[in-house]
Each structure stands twice: as C-alpha cells, then as structure tokens.
Amino acid sequence: MTHSPALQSELPLYATPESAPAINLDGQRISYTLQRTRRRRTISLLIDDRGLRVAAPLKAPQRAIDELLHLHATWVIRKVQDWQQKRPPPRSWVAGEQIMLYGAPVTLEAHAGIAMPHLDVDRLLFDPQLAPADIEFGVRNWLKQQALKCFTRCCQDYSAQLELPAPAVRLSNARTRWGSCHAKGRISMNWRLVQAPAAWIDYVAAHEVAHLRQMNHSPAFWCTVAALVPDYAERRAALRRDAHRYLLL
Ligand SMILES: [Zn+2]
C-alpha cells in the first residue's frame, strides 16, 4: 500500500465527481475515484489534490477494495478530512467575494462605469452589468495579466544578476508544478502562483532562472538559487506547506 505524501499543498484542488464510488467508514461516507489497470498487481490508496484515489488490478473484486479501505479507515478519514479543509470554498463570482493577489485578499466590487477589471488598493472593481461567468472570465484574465508582468520582471531581475540573457517567460496552467525551465531558455510559471505571497513567487522564479545555468538539482544548482534568494529553503517549505491557503482559483 502506498502512503504517498499529500500533494495538495502544492496544487489547486479538485472536487470529486458525484458519480464517484463511495464507502461508509466509521459512519462517514467517503467517496473516491477508482482506477483499474492491467499492469497493477496490488491495490493501493492515495490521497492527492483530487482526494482519495484507489488504484487496483483490472479484476480485483470490490470486496478486496472495501476490505483495504476498512483496514486503513483511520488513515483514510484523517487524510480526507485534511484534504477537505484545504479545498477552496465554492465560488459564485458575485460582488463581495475575495480573490488573493500576492498573498493578500482582494474583494470583488461592482462599480458603474468600469469596463475592465480595475484594482483599487484591495478592491477589484468590475462592471455591475456583467454576469457571474463574465466576471469569472474577466478576473481570471486579469490575474493572468498580473502574473505575466510580475513573473517576467522577477525572471529578468534574477537572470541579470547571473549575467544571463533574459529568458522568455510564459504562463502555464499546469496542475502538477509551479514552474519549469526549458532547455532553450524559456521559463514557464503557473499563473495561479500570482495569488501567493511575493516571497514565494521570487523563490520559484529564482529556482527556474537558476536552471538556466544548471539543468539539474545538483549542489551547484542550489548554490545558484541561494545566491539569488538566500532563505530559499524557508520559502520552499512555506510554499509546500501553505500554498493551498492562497490558491483559491
Ligand atoms: Zn527545478
């Protein structure tokens, strides 16, 4: 059985579909996704950003899956509860709701005469005639614009410090990583990171820029990261531990 480390602190979270299989464990209904594969020989349980997942051999009887879930009921319940607490609240995209920008809350506010989302200190103003779906579209786009400007500036600053040419910076929508650096010197960073504190954004940018010099995670690589962000280890730990608080979208 695999007790994989929970990944949700690094990632935005998903809801389990309603059609998912479920089991009653100690009086609690726990739903999960079941993945059967031919290659697999044993049943394993995993809690990740999407909740509880069961991987099983193609012909594993449901009884065996139920038995394993009951055997590890305490672990499953505790992990599922952790996961539920970390899930972002449901969103209806109306005035009064909050988004996060650089680790601080920003309240959505309808304001007559505003054509495009506009930031006023800690309020994001938008056209009161917009439907929720349009507000969602507009706010996400606005966040992506802020993300691209911020990430590009960070990566340019760090590459200049290393006396490297400025990399091209793109936004990614990856569900599995904060950033990546391509061999040809292009850096991708997850736009959702713009919701997190600037110190964490700096760390991710420094990490990817350091890859322009070292395409690995060798001691020399970490020395380069430390030259750019001396307290990178604390930032990395905080990012892993607390990102779920900021990644509401
Ligand atoms: Zn790396």
CA dihedral 150, 152, 154, 156 (to 10 degrees): -150
pLDDT, tens only, 99-118: 999 999 999 999 998 888 99
Q: What is the whole-number distance in angstroms between the Cα of residue 206 and the centre of ligand 1?
A: 10
179-181 sheet: strands from edge to edge: 168-172, 186-190, 179-181
Flag whether pLDDT at 29 surpasses 80: yes
Q: What is the whole-number distance in angstroms between the Cα of residue 44 and the centre of ligand 1?
A: 28
Q: What is the whole-number distance in angstroms between the Cα of residue 211 and the centre of ligand 1?
A: 7
Q: Enter the pTM of the model.
A: 0.71
Q: What is the whole-number distance in angstroms between the Cα of residue 219 and the centre of ligand 1?
A: 12
Q: What is the whole-number distance in angstroms between the Cα of residue 142 and the centre of ligand 1?
A: 27
Separation between Cα atoms, residue 35 and residue 53, nearest integer Å? 7
Q: What is the whole-number distance in angstroms between the Cα of residue 178 and the centre of ligand 1?
A: 10
Q: What is the whole-number distance in angstroms between the Cα of residue 160 and the centre of ligand 1?
A: 19
Average pLDDT rounded to a whole number, residues 147-157: 98
pLDDT, tens only, 40-95: 999 999 887 778 889 999 999 999 999 999 999 999 999 888 887 777 777 899 99
Q: What is the whole-number distance in angstroms between the Cα of residue 45 and the centre of ligand 1?
A: 28
Q: What is the whole-number distance in angstroms between the Cα of residue 2 and the centre of ligand 1?
A: 25
Close Cβ partners of 136 (under 8 Å, ≥ 6 residues apart): 91, 93
Q: What is the whole-number distance in angstroms between the Cα of residue 223 and the centre of ligand 1?
A: 13
In which band, very low, low, confident or very high, does the pLDDT at 175 lie, cut at 50, 70 and 90?
A: low
Average pLDDT rounded to a whole number, residues 212-223: 95
pLDDT, tens only, 114-135: 888 999 999 999 999 999 999 9
pLDDT, tens only, 198-211: 999 999 999 999 99
- CB of 57 within 8 A of CB of 40? yes
Take residue 55 and report the two structure tokens written for it.
Answer: 């991987």
Q: Tell me the domain boundaries of the chain.
A: 8-86, 98-246
Q: What is the whole-number distance in angstroms between the Cα of residue 181 and the centre of ligand 1?
A: 8
Q: What is the whole-number distance in angstroms between the Cα of residue 163 and the centre of ligand 1?
A: 19
Q: What is the whole-number distance in angstroms between the Cα of residue 231 and the centre of ligand 1?
A: 16
Q: What is the DSSP letter of 193?
A: G
Q: What is the whole-number distance in angstroms between the Cα of residue 126 and the centre of ligand 1?
A: 38
Q: Residue 31: enclosing H or E segment and its boundaries?
A: strand 28-31
The CATH code of the domain at 98-246 is: 3.30.2010.10
